[in-house]
């Protein structure tokens, strides 16, 4: 049974890089009918917060990345929050001490510092070993620790040999022997170190595949040594390349929004974000770009995950979001757009229902022009605010034929019996025909007069949605 995990540290919002890691784990698990575990790595007590954890969970749910086991729903291998597993880490650390593969260190921080200074002086890279640290493990020192209530840290005896990783994405990675000295696995505070906790958890949670960012590749050396020390089976590793900004440096805030939460606020749909993130490193066997989650699950494989870094192209994401928005029914679009409309203040929450018919028509009219839902306010503004006719609109009316056409248009709009789309179309067409006005400047001026903009939804829809009063009002002040 395939078991994978996403193991975020709750120290801030979920970023696109983390979301992509979560997505690849999710897709792999679902493709293999496996289990997707969510584990919260909150051993950095100073930086981890419950709010961050809650926001991570909320964002993952919003993206549709539902986990099968996790801190909120539990599961057979819990607890799923590292801060609730401290006893397990202690027990596991001392299991290694008993086997002679780890040891308690009674060295003081200043003594370590002095050792380090000496090694640097001798132009050696600072590295600790049992031989050097054990010299401080004297009965007197143990007594001193006991008296002062101090606990020793636990060091792992790092074997000085070569390790080879057969990574599912990176291929064969060789870690030369002797590059890493002994390292702390369990602190005197009772808190484990990341490389140790992650191995204990992945092993005890029976994780079969570790899919994560390649910023953890160097950590894998220590992790391989720990698996070996426990004689526990190795999971498969798949290290996914980083996401870069357009300038080729690692994606960061400098490149703009990176938190998934920001994209939600801007009006990105979870479907399009998921689709876009999947393509950052993975590609569909038929190179499909627009691809629903079910199809991604069906087609996903680690073999199609590239070992090259992916570039985050916000323009492409925007395009994709527009594609997904255009696929929505007007009802679905309205439902998603309502919070953004309310935010503009154009319609009060309690008036949404009574205006539903108008709003649905407005959604149909603006749907093609939306890339992010937060553009909805701007697209609707000509209907709710009174745009001032542009100088261009006024100037074009110095043309006699145009001015005559607008006069006639006013009269006919004023007198049509019902404000129906078909009637409006007939009136406009008849005016063009009867006055022989050049249609292009006529439509352009009409749009400028009604919306003070060059572009927007189809004119008949603008006219219809505005309603007769507003249309006559805006045409009237052109003073033709």
3-state secondary structure of 349: helix
Smallest separation (angstroms) from ligand GLU to the CB of 231: 21
Nearer to ligand GLU, 7 or 153 (CB): 7
DSSP code, position 390: P
Count CB neighbours of 378 within 10 A: 13
Encoded tokens for 112:
């370590």
Q: How far apart are CA 167 and CA 186, in angstroms?
A: 27
List of residues 6+ apart from 364 with CB closer than 8 A: 330, 461
Distance in Å, CB of 374 to ligand GLU, minimum: 29
User: Closest approach of Cβ 277 to ligand GLU, in Å?
Assistant: 17
Cα–Cα nearest to 136, from 102, 100, 106, 116: 106
Q: Which is nearer to ligand GLU, 9 or 403 (CB)?
A: 9
The whole-angstrom distance between residue 185's C-alpha and the CA centroid of its chain comes to 31
Omega cis (within 30) before 281:
no
Q: How far is CA 217 from CA 158, 222, 260, in A?
A: 17, 10, 24
Give the interface with ligand GLU as residue ranges (CB under 6 A).
Answer: 7-9, 41, 198, 212, 216
| Closest to 25 (Cα-Cα) out of 277, 249, 247 | 277
Is the distance from CB of 63 to CB of 24 less than 8 angstroms?
Answer: no
Nearer to ligand GLU, 10 or 270 (CB): 10
In whole angstroms, the minimum distance from the beta carbon of 146 to ligand GLU comes to: 34
Are 235 and 202 a contacting pair, CB within 8 Å? Answer: yes
Rounded CA-CA distance 47/9 in Å is 9
Least distance to ligand GLU, CB of residue 233, Å: 17
Q: d(Cα 243, Cα 64) in Å, to the nearest integer?
A: 21
Taking the least distance from each CB to ligand GLU, the nearer of 222 and 474 is: 222
Instruction: Give 193 or 437: the residue with its C-beta nearer to ligand GLU.
Output: 193
HEC string of 355-414 equals CHHHHHHHHHHHHHHCCCHHHHHHHHHHHHCCCCCCHHHHHHCCCHHHHHHHHHHHHHHH
Whole-Å CA distances, 377 to 223, 288, 343, 446, 480:
51, 32, 8, 22, 31
Q: d(Cα 405, Cα 442) in Å, to the nearest integer?
A: 8
Give the residue with the Cβ less far from ligand GLU, 184 or 466: 184
Which residues are catalytically annotated? 253
Number of alpha carbons in the 13 Å side-chain half-sphere of residue 291: 22
Cβ proximity to ligand GLU: between 8 and 281 the closer is: 8
CB of 161 to ligand GLU, least distance (A): 23
User: Considering the complex, what minimum distance in angstroms separates the CB of residue 37 from ligand GLU?
Assistant: 11
């Amino acid at each position: 049974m395939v078991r994978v995990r996403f193991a975020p540290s709750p120290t801030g919002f979920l970023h696109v890089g983390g979301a992509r890691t979560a997505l690849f784990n999710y897709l792999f698990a679902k493709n293999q009918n496996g289990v997707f575990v969510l584990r919260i790595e909150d051993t950095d007590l100073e930086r981890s917060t419950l709010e961050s954890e809650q926001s991570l969970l909320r964002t993952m749910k919003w993206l549709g990345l539902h986990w099968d086991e996790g801190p909120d729903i539990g599961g057979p291998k819990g607890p799923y929050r590292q801060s609730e597993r401290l006893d397990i880490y202690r027990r596991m650390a001392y299991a290694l001490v008993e086997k002679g593969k780890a040891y308690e260190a009674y060295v003081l921080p200043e003594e370590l510092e002095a050792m380090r200074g000496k090694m640097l002086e001798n132009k050696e890279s600072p590295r600790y070993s049992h031989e050097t640290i054990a010299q401080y493990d004297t009965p007197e020192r143990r007594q001193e620790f006991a008296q002062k209530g101090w606990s020793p840290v636990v060091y792992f005896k790092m074997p000085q040999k070569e390790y080879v990783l057969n990574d599912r994405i990176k291929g064969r990675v060789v870690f030369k022997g002797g590059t890493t000295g002994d390292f702390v696995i369990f602190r005197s505070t009772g808190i484990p170190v990341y490389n140790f906790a992650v191995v204990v958890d992945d092993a005890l949670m029976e994780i079969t595949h570790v899919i994560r960012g390649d910023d953890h590749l160097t950590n894998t050396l220590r992790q391989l040594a720990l698996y070996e020390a426990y004689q526990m089976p190795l999971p498969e590793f798949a290290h996914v390349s980083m996401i870069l900004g357009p300038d080729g440096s690692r994606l960061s805030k400098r490149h703009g929004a990176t938190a998934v939460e920001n994209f939600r606020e801007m009006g990105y749909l979870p479907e399009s974000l998921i689709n876009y993130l999947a393509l950052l490193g993975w590609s569909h066997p038929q190179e499909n770009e627009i691809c629903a989650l079910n199809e991604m699950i069906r087609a996903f494989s680690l073999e199609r995950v590239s070992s090259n870094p992916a570039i985050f192209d916000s323009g492409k994401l925007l395009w994709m979001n527009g594609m997904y928005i255009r696929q929505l029914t007007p009802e679905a679009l309205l439902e998603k757009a309502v919070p953004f409309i309310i935010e503009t203040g154009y319609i009060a929450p309690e008036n949404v229902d009574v205006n539903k018919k108008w709003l649905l028509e407005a959604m149909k009219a603006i749907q093609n022009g939306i890339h992010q839902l937060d553009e909805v306010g701007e697209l609707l503004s000509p209907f709710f605010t009174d745009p001032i006719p542009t100088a261009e609109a006024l100037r074009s009316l110095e043309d006699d034929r145009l001015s005559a056409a607008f006069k006639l248009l006013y009269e006919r709009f004023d007198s049509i019996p019902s404000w129906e789309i078909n009637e409006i179309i007939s009136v406009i067409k008849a005016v063009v025909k009867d006055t022989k006005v050049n249609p292009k400047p006529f439509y352009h001026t009409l749009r400028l007069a009604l919306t003070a903009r060059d572009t927007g939804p189809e004119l008949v829809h603008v006219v219809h949605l505005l309603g007769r009063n507003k249309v006559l009002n805006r045409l009237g002040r052109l003073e033709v």
